[in-house]
Structure 1
Amino acid sequence: MKRHPLTFGLLIALASVPAFAQSPDETQEQEAQGDSLETVVVTGTRTSTRTVASSPSPIDVITPAALEATGTTELATALSRALPSLNFPRPAITDGTDAVRPAQLRGLAPDQVLVLVNGKRRHTTALINLNGSQGRGSSPVDLNAIPISAIQRVEVLRDGASAQYGSDAIAGVVNIVLKGSDSGGSIALTGGQYSAGDGRTAQLSGDVGIKLGENGALHLAAEARDQDQTDRARPYVLAPGVTVRPSTAPPPGVVVQRYGDPEVRQYAFSANADLQINDALSFYGFANASRRDALSNGFFRTALDTRNIQAIYPDGFLPQIRNIAEDRAFVVGLRGMTVLEWDVDLSYNYGRNDLSFGVENSLNRSLGPTSPTQFDAGALQITQHVLNLDVTRGFNVDWLASALNVAWGLEWRGEGFQQGAGELSSYVNGGVLLPGGTPAPSGSQVFPGFRPDDAGDFDRESFAAYLDLEANVTDKFNLGLAVRSEEYSDFGSTTSGKVSARYDFSDAVALRGTVSTGFRAPSLQQQFFRSTATNFIGGVPFDIRTFRVNDPAAVALGAEPLKAEESKNLSLGLVLKPVDNLYVTIDAYRIDIDDRIMLSENLTSTAVRNFLNATVDPALGGGRYFTNAIDTSTKGVDIIATYRWLLGNGSLDLTAGYNYNKTTVERIAPNPAALTAIDPTAVRIGRVEVGRLTVGAPRDKFQFGGLYTLGNWKFGANATRYGEFSVLFGNNPADTSRDQTFDPQWTLDLSGSYSLGNWDFTLGADNVLDEYPDEVLFANSTNGQLPYSASSPNGFNGAYLYGRIGYKW
């Protein structure tokens, strides 16, 4: 990787100072007592005494008990059930997205949320979502790679924070704080399945604290999960008015398709260490490693389908994708106080995600009867190296009501993206024709392998500097200022700023607000990912290429170098504590994003195909690329209320939450002159993609839950209402016949647990009433085989029953 000249100056600075970082375990005792309002938070602030109740920005603190109470073994699913503003659908038949599902905060893109672990930037997944799921075109962080048993708490900052943390923090920040105690531990066995009889899940998890010498701690956690697939597919049904069954249709009454969650085998490990070297200096480090083996499904090819070879599959075949996701990350650092009384934190952060694509139970039609049935289709890899220097100190200022907290820092980040080619048979066209003499599709079916000219190794680096000031101007008025400047080797520089303020009228009423600018740098995947896949147009296969933005053919079709997305965030909130034990927050927000990075439509017109066939590849049938072609505005409100009600010898903790957000498209850039010259009628951003942004996720979400504790018993209940969403089909605005709006859906989760000494026994049911979303229109159901939308926010698996046995010491 080439080094920016500023890099060497940063390395010298890093080598010359000790460092300081807040211990992730400082508030464990408070959290164990359930007093989350007084939990000291480390997200969105660089002061060491900021609590949830006194924060100038909306922050949610999710404890391990709250995560476990959701019944799920996945972190992202648990967060979506605990946070009204988080959307985590369960798409199916979407290639690698089945295995690495994206989450959305406040209706924005999955990669517009920054994820931290112990306050340090987490790397993204290597996957880029290219199919028709929420988050199309994004490469988010894989939250499910972190075991829940390792987590002390999760802090979710629902506010723009690019001026504090840099790229990606447009919608907010998710900070996962790891357990760090030097004693105690737990082990738990969880099992469950859906009421339909599938999706059986078994998980063994545990954690343990170990004392290191006299002043050190090491906390270890691990989990192993085995999850069977779910299937809600149905038999093929003739379309209304059709009486003759096509020869290529599956046998009547037989379910040949599979539609649901993939089969998953996952192992994950986490370690968090802290060691006091002397009175002024400590060493810290933490690491996480995981391996996920996920098997998902494509579309069934019947026996007489032209894509099948009956000599290999006499009854047809269901091609499958096996994704192996391997995640590695570690952070090491020093913290301490200098002789000038500055608290300093010096750290190195490494992250890597590898995602391989294997194709099973398939064939390459163009190779004829000699085709293999399993393929290595290639792999993707993302790496991240980060050096951080963070310095803080409080200064006494006579006219301020508190110390002025001054924080500044430097960051160097190096990123790499690799795309590796698959084996020859996974992408080659062997020349065997379909019946009638038409060309056969190239490569392995369901997922053609990456070609040698798709492969590549790309990198970039960035350098950042920030300044952060915060103080109580008076006893009632808190003010914070932050500015951050970043320079990237691939697209230039950007500067972000933030002003936050809070005024406490009394102990019962406070007003808070923020104004900030932000950005998200284009990912290396968006700039350099390339693939060629087969699409059928009018029954004829064409190879559609996802071009790199700097490819000469893409430039000829109007592609331009990607630039950073830029945002303006406004937030105004009211904090109410009208009576003892009642806490209410109401936060309205507006997020304007210019130059959003989108994946264009498939450009497949005759004019485009003729151009590509003449200048690039005679077999190409179209192309697409990433572009900064759209501006959006998102307006919304978050309302959160918590109340603790003491009932005799017991207590009832109630929580209610509501999120409403609406995204509108403010601008779609006109087609570039180059594209217009080739095809004046081309559509780069169509109504389907606009619909995915504006109505594809629920407009609102409401949750109400309670936990009743009496002696050794705990009973939990949580009701969730997912608002309506819509799916649009086709880019002809005159034809909306296949568009569909799905009604709101209610779900109810129940659980009960009993403690006997150190043992805990839990039984529960998620979606206990076995509610399903609306079924899709027949025209969108693949002849009735796929009855539910993959955008359904709670999935379409029905009720899930589970049990857990745990032991703590």
Structure 2
Amino acid sequence: MKRLLLLPAVAIALVSQAQAQNVTVTGRVTNAAGQSQPGVTVLERGSNNGTSTDGNGRFELSVSPTATLVVSAIGSATQQIPLNGRTILEVRLQDAATDLNEVVVTGSRATEGRSNVLTTSPVDVISAREIKVFAQTDVSQILTYIAPSFQSSRQAISDGTDHVDPASLRGLGPDQVLVLVNGKRRHSSALVNINGTVGRGSVGTDLNTIPNASIKRIEVLRDGAAAQYGSDAIAGVINIQLKDDTTGVQASSTVGQTYEGDGRLYQADANVGVGLNGRGYLDLSGQFSNRGYTNRSGVDTAPLIYLGGNSGTFPASANTEQLRRDLKAQDDALVAQRGYDRRNLRLGQSEARTYGGFLNFGYTLVPAVGLEAYVTAGASRRTGKAAGFYRLPNQVTQTDATLYPNGFLPFINTTIIDQSIIAGLRARALGFDIDLSNTYGRNELAFDISNTLNASLPVGISPTNFYAGTIAFRQNTSNLNFTRRFTNVAVLSTLNVAFGAEYRDDNYQIEAGERGSYENYGRVIAPGPPPTFAAAGAQVFPGYQPSDALNRSRTNTAGYVDLESDITEKLLVSVAGRAERYSDFGNNVSGKLAARYSILPDVAVRGAISNGFRAPSLQQRYFTNTSTQFVQGAPNQVLTVNNDNPIVRNGFTAGGVGQQGFGIGSLKQEKSKNYSLGLTARILKTGTITLDAYQIDIQDRIVLSSQFSRANPTVAAILGTLPVSQVQFFANAVNTRTRGIDVVANQRLDLGPGRLTLTVAANFNETEVRKVNSSPTIDADQTGLQNTLFDRQQRGRLENAQPRSKINLTAGYALGIFSVEARTVRFGAVQYKDARLDNPGANNGFLFSSIDQTFSAKWVTDLTLSAQVTRQIGLTVGASNLFDVYPDKYRVNVLNNEQNVAVGALAYNSSRDNTNRGRTIYNPNQFGYNGGFYFARVIVNLPTSN
């Protein structure tokens, strides 16, 4: 390994020795009509030495005198031009018959890539240019606006999920899509989403740890692929391919802010590409990003701020309208006297500062056998700051007037450190391409809580900052793969054979926070009886306790075989099978059959059938913590208990007395059945269209239950004397069916003196919960425990919380050094469903009116204008969400309750839960709620030769 890491330095030394032998070649590239073509790639064949043409179609490149130049551009046929002693060239491009049909490698292990309209499964290809053309600067947001089947939106007031965006493919969960980097499995985030967001109970991959500058292209396979790649690939696969063909320095800087004046962005990145004398490549990429927070909160409508009870409610003694009005007048006077701002929440994207870099290196050691060493390594550090709910000065169990006389807004600060390295060897032997690799990845998330306190400490002495602990996930994967292409095998035109083995080791850790972040020091607020105690632990995020700390590992061994054959010129068939054994839950076998048949020369049908699986993550199996959560201002100790705990399983013995459990079985793998059928066609030589329908049935889908309350007799019997009032846990609780259609159409044509590119892409999907998998203990309870295991709010998150449709319309026009890009995306409607309607008779006297709400579909438009000012410098200005579109607002629901009756113009808002009080205005799950954003970007290209 150490020798491999020394190779980049040795190779760079070889480069300088070769430069003196080169000659300088100049030239001009035009299209078929004789017009100058900027941005055309010119490479020396067999190396990564190259450049691109300037605004006048001209280039200059230092190459070997015997070189062959490769000239390529999207939409044009690639040309290979031997110099034969020439130093001046005129190159005229011709339109390619397969215009816009990118060659892809994801979804097939064939030795030769295929056009994305010639594959058996649908694959989207996002190029480096598409990544740079609009305002989005992190991978999850880029994919959200380019790939209709992909969805991610930033969350707020959701603890760690404020800092790691949950993402989904085809409407499924964040952990049901597999992420690859250069075709190798990427490790997941350490964070398990346990709050009320999309993806609750899941563990995704943090795509935003990968710098944009390092990305050559992103391939999105929209089909089940567990038989090919293993666990998690139920919805599909995202393969991020890093740059391996650049030369010189490419750098960009982006600045921008929202129309509201917040959310300022300062971002800079750079990529340095070096060709290693025709035998390899070295690409170094780095990125810095500083993103400011946004705030789209409303005004706190709590009747009382300084007086009254918790959450600004009237005390029981204020039992007439006159007494309430008098108390309200006194409180309003205090608000005015102290200058209190009722806009006391910070609701929007979190602050984030990111430093990251990637290295991608390959070098041919022995050309005769194709022995190549390769290394891909990356590291990033992201710090973030997000707010929780404001603690009012009258919330005496949660605050301390000597420290915060006007209440306080606590913050969750995170430090996310991500590290990865892929190292391997490729070679050819006995006709096989052999690939031996090892992939290591680690993701760590540390929590520091600021502007807070531990209210259970004696008055006036609590610290205001706490270290709350760290979670970490590590994964190490070793692969050995063999691939060979056979021709004229019996009656088969071709046969590609691939097989291999994989060994993976996973590890998950929780480190406890400092004592003050979780301890209960027993401060009494009121002597009672019964006594009222102050809340324990750091407000907003109590630290992980020593009892939560853990260090758990598991291993996985897998083998696979993959066959693909052009049985005839018209029929392509692929078959894959995979067997896996996990050390913690057992075995799994999955398979896939896919085919493509050409009906006409330019029209084909394709389809696939497969079964897949997703192994329960270590985070889902072992995560545990105890936190204080407030319901109507009253503190509740909530225990998130791991699935192996006797409380979840079959009970335990306490003090010699047996107690029952919930009877939930051990977590097992989710199993899926995938079906797809599609049509592909080429249109007018330069256009393509694909239409793919799919159905995904998932059995034993893992969810995090709702909170079981001790108020229920069955739950009270299970919890016994444990000092908690509520409990939640993971379970294979539901079976779901997802159906949908993907449509993608591209067209490129000459229009006047320039070229017009059009894209229409759309996804329509629907997820239905078909069955709830409970237990005899839960089913036997007649008070609605099954609704608690999986309530209607959770059902709503799976079925309706994300857009069921998304339509992307994009147009680009290039004319000389200028180009304009316009894109409008229709985000379909989403719904909010309230769990309290599961049991409306048990709502403590509250009557809710029209709590459920549908948020209508919206169009969001982006526009950019670009100019290639010189060969080296390009400028782009534009706007994201040009027309400043926001989601629908939450409705205000007035509670028909004596304690919370509207006073004057101040109405109590219960649209999401009874702590929001009008401060939460928008649903974040369509496209966020930052509004319009304008930006400017400068791009610098400094090509070098060697």
Question: Shorter chain as normaliser: what TM range?
Answer: over 0.9
Residue by residue over 1:31-90, the C-alpha shift from the partner in whole angstroms, topping out at 9 and shown as x without a partner, is: 853577443211000112322121111000001111122311111100100011111112
Aligned to 1:421: 512
Q: Which whole-Å CA distance do the structure 2 matches of 1:559 and 1:26 have between them?
A: 60
1:386/1:413 contact within 8 Å kept: yes
User: Paired residue for 1:771, among 885, 894, 907?
Assistant: 885
Q: 1:734 to 1:552 in 2, by over 3 A?
A: closer
User: Paired residue for 1:271, among 334, 346, 359?
Assistant: 359
Aligned to 1:364: 454
User: Paired residue for 1:440, among 530, 534, 537?
Assistant: 534
Supply the AA of the counterpart residue of 2:441.
Answer: G
What secondary structure, in the 3-state scheme, does the structure 1 residue paired with 2:835 have?
coil
Aligned to 1:788: 922
1:538: Cα distance to partner?
5.0
Residue by residue over 1:525-545, the C-alpha shift from the partner in whole angstroms, topping out at 9 and shown as x without a partner, is: 000000111122454312111
2:214/2:243 contact within 8 Å kept: yes
Q: 1:313 to 1:465 in 2, by over 3 A?
A: same
Aligned to 1:9: none
What secondary structure, in the 3-state scheme, does the structure 2 residue paired with 1:468 have?
strand
1:514/1:570 contact within 8 Å kept: yes
Supply the AA of the counterpart residue of 1:361.
Answer: N
1:100: Cα distance to partner?
0.4
Supply the AA of the counterpart residue of 1:46.
Answer: R
1:30/1:39 contact within 8 Å kept: no
User: Paired residue for 1:147, among 176, 194, 211?
Assistant: 211
2:511/2:549 contact within 8 Å kept: yes
1:415: Cα distance to partner?
0.3
Q: Which whole-Å CA distance do the structure 1 matches of 2:330 and 2:504 have between them?
A: 57
1:724 pairs with 2:835: no
Q: 1:311 to 1:140 in 2, by over 3 A?
A: same
Supply the AA of the counterpart residue of 2:756.
Answer: L
Q: 1:681 to 1:719 in 2, by over 3 A?
A: closer
Q: 1:92 to 1:448 in 2, by over 3 A?
A: same
Residue by residue over 1:288-323, the C-alpha shift from the partner in whole angstroms, topping out at 9 and shown as x without a partner, is: 110100100100012222111010111110000001
User: Paired residue for 2:804, among 677, 694, 699?
Assistant: 699
Residue by residue over 1:414-442, the C-alpha shift from the partner in whole angstroms, topping out at 9 and shown as x without a partner, is: 00000110000000000002345312222
Supply the AA of the counterpart residue of 1:689.
Answer: Q
1:785: Cα distance to partner?
1.3
**Structure 1: which 5+ residue stretches go unaligned?**
1-22
1:298 pairs with 2:429: no
Aligned to 2:740: 636
User: Paired residue for 1:102, among 158, 166, 181?
Assistant: 166
Q: Which whole-Å CA distance do the structure 2 matches of 1:31 and 1:311 have between them?
A: 70
1:262 pairs with 2:395: no
Q: 1:149 to 1:317 in 2, by over 3 A?
A: same
Number of residues paired by the alignment?
783
1:210: Cα distance to partner?
2.0
1:579: Cα distance to partner?
1.7
Pairing 1:305-454 to 2, within 5 Å after superposition: 305-306=395-396, 307-338=398-429, 340-368=430-458, 369-400=460-491, 402-435=493-526, 437-454=531-548
Aligned to 2:905: none
Aligned to 2:239: 175
Greater radius of gyration (CA): 2
Supply the AA of the counterpart residue of 2:875.
Answer: F
Q: Which whole-Å CA distance do the structure 1 matches of 2:826 and 2:207 have between them?
A: 24
1:675: Cα distance to partner?
7.6
User: Paired residue for 2:932, among 779, 799, 806?
Assistant: 799
Aligned to 1:458: 552
Aligned to 2:7: none
Q: Which moved more, 1:577-586 or 1:434-443?
A: 434-443
Q: Which moved more, 1:627-636 or 1:206-215?
A: 206-215
Pairing 1:501-540 to 2, within 5 Å after superposition: 501-537=595-631, 539-540=633-634
Residue by residue over 1:470-492, the C-alpha shift from the partner in whole angstroms, topping out at 9 and shown as x without a partner, is: 01111101000000000000000
Pairing 1:612-761 to 2, within 5 Å after superposition: 614-615=720-721, 617=722, 619-673=723-777, 676=780, 681=785, 683-733=788-838, 735=840, 737-756=850-869, 757-761=871-875
Q: Which whole-Å CA distance do the structure 1 matches of 2:566 and 2:456 have between them?
A: 71
Aligned to 2:646: 552
Q: Which moved more, 1:550-559 or 1:484-493?
A: 550-559
Aligned to 1:479: 573
Q: Which whole-Å CA distance do the structure 1 matches of 2:495 and 2:251 have between them?
A: 44
Supply the AA of the counterpart residue of 2:532.
Answer: T
Q: Which moved more, 1:223-232 or 1:30-39?
A: 30-39
1:399: Cα distance to partner?
4.4
What secondary structure, in the 3-state scheme, does the structure 2 residue paired with 1:429 have?
coil
Q: Which whole-Å CA distance do the structure 1 matches of 2:229 and 2:378 have between them?
A: 21
1:677: Cα distance to partner?
6.7
Residue by residue over 1:615-668, the C-alpha shift from the partner in whole angstroms, topping out at 9 and shown as x without a partner, is: 4x2x20011110001000000000110000211321010001111000011110
Residue by residue over 1:728-778, the C-alpha shift from the partner in whole angstroms, topping out at 9 and shown as x without a partner, is: 112434657311100111111100000022110000100010011100012
Supply the AA of the counterpart residue of 1:574.
Answer: L
Q: 1:367 to 1:31 in 2, by over 3 A?
A: farther
Pairing 1:53-92 to 2, within 5 Å after superposition: 53-92=117-156
Aligned to 2:295: 231
1:256: Cα distance to partner?
1.3
Q: Which whole-Å CA distance do the structure 2 matches of 1:693 and 1:680 have between them?
A: 20
Supply the AA of the counterpart residue of 1:807.
Answer: V
2:297/2:921 contact within 8 Å kept: yes
Supply the AA of the counterpart residue of 1:388.
Answer: N
Q: Which whole-Å CA distance do the structure 1 matches of 2:238 and 2:887 have between them?
A: 28
Supply the AA of the counterpart residue of 1:264.
Answer: A
Supply the AA of the counterpart residue of 2:834.
Answer: F
What secondary structure, in the 3-state scheme, does the structure 2 residue paired with 1:425 have?
helix
Residue by residue over 1:389-416, the C-alpha shift from the partner in whole angstroms, topping out at 9 and shown as x without a partner, is: 1101112234445320000010000000
